[in-house]
Chains A and B, each alone.
Chain A
Amino acid sequence: MAWLGPDEWSAVALSLKVAGCATLVTLPLGVFVAYVLARWSFPGKQLLNGIVHLPLILPPVVTGYLLLLTFGTRGPVGGLLQEIGIVFAFRWTGAALAAGVMAFPLMVRAIRLSIEAVDPGLEQAAATLGASRLWVFATVTLPLILPGILTGGILAFAKAMGEFGATITFVSNIPGQTQTLPSAIYAFLQVPGGETSAMRLVLVSVAVAISALMLSEWLARRVANRVAGT
């Protein structure tokens, strides 16, 4: 990566860290919420569905501002978390939070689709063979939705890598702290002579996005074949 300058390299590394953390931390929650939306029926289900999809339809700047209000040092949740030493505002953790929230709907949609494709009859069969609900999920549902989880995870990772509006609103654009790839491209384009750096980061973005897509296709196909036993 010798052709990347130190500022550019730090933006790439930070973006990978932010997107990786955002994806891994939200994945279990994403699977749970997708399962709830796919298989349970309860009053308020549409409300939950709406809240999950909110970041997808709201302007990202609005989501970022709401995060700032909630998780900022003077926000109701941010203030509490600060007491126990967790700070989001103007830290890379905040960037990860913003990326995670923005990527969540995409992740849940992909996983929910794969759960809905699992024949409930298989889960019933497992129950009659002595498996409790938790065991049914662990031994039947989870292995069968693995392709969907992979797709959802990689989609979320790519979305998190590209998150800009909510991130810059929530945690600003501090080089080395919160300056992710898109923020860095934006910053380079604001200064004269920054076009070359911006172009290099654009190429990195494109490469990461395409690799993620190809990796997800390849993994999903492999896992799907293994699951189907063909």
Chain B
Amino acid sequence: MSLSVRLTHALAGFDLDIAFDAPPGVTALFGRSGAGKTTIVNAVAGLLRPDAGRVVVGDRVLFDTALGRWLPPHQRRVGYVFQEGRLFPHLSVRQNLAYGRWFARRAPATESQDRVVEMLGIGHLLDRRPAKLSGGEKQRVAIGRALLANPGLILADEPLAALDVARKSEILSYLERVRDEVSVPILYVSHSAAEVARIATTVVVLQDGKVQRQGPATEVFGDPSVLPTGVRAAGAVLQAIVVRHHADGLTEIDAGGARLFLPLIAQSPGREVRVRIAAHEVLLSRGRPEGLSALNILSGTVDQVRAGDGPGAIVSVRTQAGPVLARVTRRSADALGLAHGVPCHAIIKTVSIAPEDISGLV
């Protein structure tokens, strides 16, 4: 099941004019706040009527202004996970979960309530009211409620924005399970590079109401010209396979033939993982470094150097493992003579890779 979106809509300050096709899996709409991300999902859900456009999920046309077709929200079969959960306060968790199922009762259920409850770990909450749930629990119930409404598409608009760091990571793990165990495509809105790097199959980068770039997460995050949320959030994403866990608490992975060491992760050997390497944690060296405590050294050649407005620059290095971004000062870049085609080494401290930067893929 795929999703095709094209729409134009006048917003305060700029015009939204976007088009993208999303393959199955998680497609992340990524961009800074106010880039028009929520407008897009609201138009897909039918909560906002855009000036013009067409949205198709699989073979169902949700709206097409050229044909004058407009399905009301309740006929779209779109499961929407809102930022604030929006659980019904007067209903128990069980009744909240059953709400959408009841309206979709004539269609064969794609997901059983038992399976969704088990997958999201909300069995012990069923008889509670939303007022008695924590923020993370509310979001898990909201995800379950959307899944059980038999949706052809799930929309998630910054579902983690209201949560603390620990809860974010927890909900992301549940969303990864949904992505890997349920065949429904997900359109995921976020302004957090770490979140998107972890969950997205495809990334659609929005800037000033336009699609700036679209592609697999590894490609988009490895491109130093695409930094919609600023240089501080820059970081490349490497795809790798778990090789083995070591007794001293390290996990060895294989990224395109290069061996890297991470802090111990849960994924078993043979599993595919995705690792985000924050650009400001990467050191560059012209010569092969000796006597260094860092465990991970990737050799490659400089692809491009992009100077920022301040003292910094982003350097992209082509390595065996894929593109790696490093954030260094312009002074260092000049001193090392970094330019396209220059060989260099990217140095990554194992301990600089946080558990939130690593995600398992099926």
> Chain B 279-323 against A: per-residue CB contact (8 Å), 1 yes, 0 no?
000000000000000000000000000000000000000000000
- Contacts A131-B103, A132-B74, A229-B129; is A125 near B90 (CB within 8 Å)? no
- Contacts A124-B47, A144-B90; is A129 near B130 (CB within 8 Å)? no
Q: Does B78 contact A (CB under 8 A)?
A: yes
Residues on A with C-beta less than 8 A from B30 are none
Which of A129, A132, A135, A230 is B145 in contact with, Cβ under 8 Å? A129
B90 A227 Cβ-Cβ under 8 A: yes
Please count how many residues in chain B sit with their CB below 8 Å of the partner chain's CB atoms.
31
A128 B76 Cβ-Cβ under 8 A: yes
Residues on B with C-beta less than 8 A from A226 are 90
Q: Does B361 contact A (CB under 8 A)?
A: no
Contact residues, A115-166 vs B (CB, 8 A) = 119, 121-122, 124-132, 135-136, 139-140, 143-144
B89 A228 Cβ-Cβ under 8 A: yes
Residues on A with C-beta less than 8 A from B128 are 229
Contact residues, A14-38 vs B (CB, 8 A) = none
A229 B103 Cβ-Cβ under 8 A: no
Residues on B with C-beta less than 8 A from A130 are 74-75, 77, 100, 103-104, 149
In whole angstroms, how far apart are the Cα atoms of A70 and B255 in the complex?
A: 87
Q: Does B14 contact A (CB under 8 A)?
A: no
Which of B76, B88, B131 is A126 in contact with, Cβ under 8 Å? B88
B131 A228 Cβ-Cβ under 8 A: yes
B74 A230 Cβ-Cβ under 8 A: no
B86 A121 Cβ-Cβ under 8 A: yes
Nearest-Cβ distance from residue B352 to partner chain A, whole angstroms: 39
B74 A127 Cβ-Cβ under 8 A: yes
Which of A121, A129, A227 is B99 in contact with, Cβ under 8 Å? A129
In whole angstroms, how far apart are the Cα atoms of A136 and B73 in the complex?
A: 12
Q: Does B356 contact A (CB under 8 A)?
A: no
Contact residues, B30-76 vs A (CB, 8 A) = 45-47, 72-76
A128 B45 Cβ-Cβ under 8 A: yes
Q: Does B82 contact A (CB under 8 A)?
A: yes
A131 B74 Cβ-Cβ under 8 A: yes
> Chain B 76-100 against A: per-residue CB contact (8 Å), 1 yes, 0 no?
1111101010101110100000011
**Chain B residue nearest to A140 in the complex (CB):** B88
In whole angstroms, how far apart are the Cα atoms of A132 and B103 in the complex?
A: 9
In whole angstroms, how far apart are the Cα atoms of A188 and B324 in the complex?
A: 96
In whole angstroms, how far apart are the Cα atoms of A201 and B139 in the complex?
A: 58
Nearest-Cβ distance from residue A177 to partner chain B, whole angstroms: 44
Q: Does B232 contact A (CB under 8 A)?
A: no
Contact residues, B257-271 vs A (CB, 8 A) = none
Residues on B with C-beta less than 8 A from A227 are 89-90
B88 A127 Cβ-Cβ under 8 A: no
Nearest-Cβ distance from residue A132 to partner chain B, whole angstroms: 5
A230 B129 Cβ-Cβ under 8 A: yes
A229 B89 Cβ-Cβ under 8 A: yes
Residues on B with C-beta less than 8 A from A131 are 74, 99, 103
- Contacts A121-B82, A132-B74; is A127 near B90 (CB within 8 Å)? no
**Chain A residue nearest to B107 in the complex (CB):** A130
**Chain B residue nearest to A124 in the complex (CB):** B47
In whole angstroms, how far apart are the Cα atoms of A164 and B25 in the complex?
A: 69
The 5 closest A-B pairs by CB, nearest first: A229-B129, A130-B103, A129-B100, A127-B73, A125-B86
Give me the interface of A with B, judged by CB distance under 8 Å: 119, 121-122, 124-132, 135-136, 139-140, 143-144, 226-230
Give me the interface of B with A, judged by CB distance under 8 Å: 45-47, 72-80, 82, 84, 86, 88-90, 92, 99-100, 103-104, 128-132, 145-146, 149
New contact pairs (13) apart from A129-B103, A229-B132, CB-CB < 8 Å: A119-B86, A121-B84, A125-B88, A127-B72, A128-B79, A130-B75, A130-B103, A131-B99, A132-B74, A227-B90, A228-B89, A228-B131, A229-B89
